[in-house]
Amino acid sequence: MPTPASLALTALHIPHREFTHAGEVTSLEQAARERGQTPEQVIRSLLFRVTEGEYVLALVAGPGQISWPALRQHLGQSRLTMAKPEEVLAVTGFAIGAVGPFGVRTPLRVLVDQGVLAQEEVSIGSGVRGTTIFIRVEDLLAALGETAEAANLL
């Protein structure tokens, strides 16, 4: 059965493919190795609460760590927090580790870090733990459309 992300991408006529890991994934390095990718090609989707009821999803390449000052400056906010696991589930419909920008419960503003844009093909959350979506970055951006903003978040 297709994942929520695959269903959303198929509806948009965006080329992609699913990959399911044979067992539990416990690290970014393991995920990259099993997918035949570099760690920078594994995209992490991080949900932040900007204000009460307002969230933003940041897509970050591999091991990169978001700079809180850069994120606050980009958003024009003096304060924000990472969403708690129960907020992530409520807002996206997905558990941490399965979150991606497609098929989410609530439409979200999406920030795409420059490190993502440096890749040709990436893997993103599918909505199902242990299954990912392979997608070319140009197709990712086309699918995100106007909800996406390029940002220097590291």
pLDDT in tens, the chain (154 residues): 899 999 999 999 999 999 999 999 999 999 999 999 999 999 999 999 999 889 999 999 999 899 999 999 999 999 999 999 999 999 999 999 999 999 999 999 999 999 999 999 999 999 999 999 999 999 999 999 987 888 888 8
Tokens of 49: 């609460």
Query: What does the alpha-carbon distance between residue 112 and residue 90 come to, in Å, rounded to a whole number?
Result: 22
110 closest CA partner among 147, 69, 143, 137: 147
Question: Which amino acid belongs to residue 34?
Answer: E
- Give the pLDDT confidence score for residue 151 in this predicted structure: 87
Q: Are 108 and 55 in contact (CB under 8 A)?
A: yes
Query: What does the alpha-carbon distance between residue 118 and residue 90 come to, in Å, rounded to a whole number?
Result: 31
Beta strand 17-20 with 131-136 is antiparallel
- Give the pLDDT confidence score for residue 1 in this predicted structure: 85
Neighbours of 100 (CB within 10 A): 28
User: Could you tell me the CATH number of the domain that includes residue 108?
Assistant: 3.90.960.10
Name the residue range of residue 103's domain. Answer: 4-151
- Give the pLDDT confidence score for residue 62 in this predicted structure: 92
Domain tally, the chain? 1
Provide the whole-model pTM. Answer: 0.94
- Give the pLDDT confidence score for residue 66 in this predicted structure: 93
- Give the pLDDT confidence score for residue 95 in this predicted structure: 95
- Give the pLDDT confidence score for residue 146 in this predicted structure: 82
Beta strand 131-136 with 81-82 is unpaired
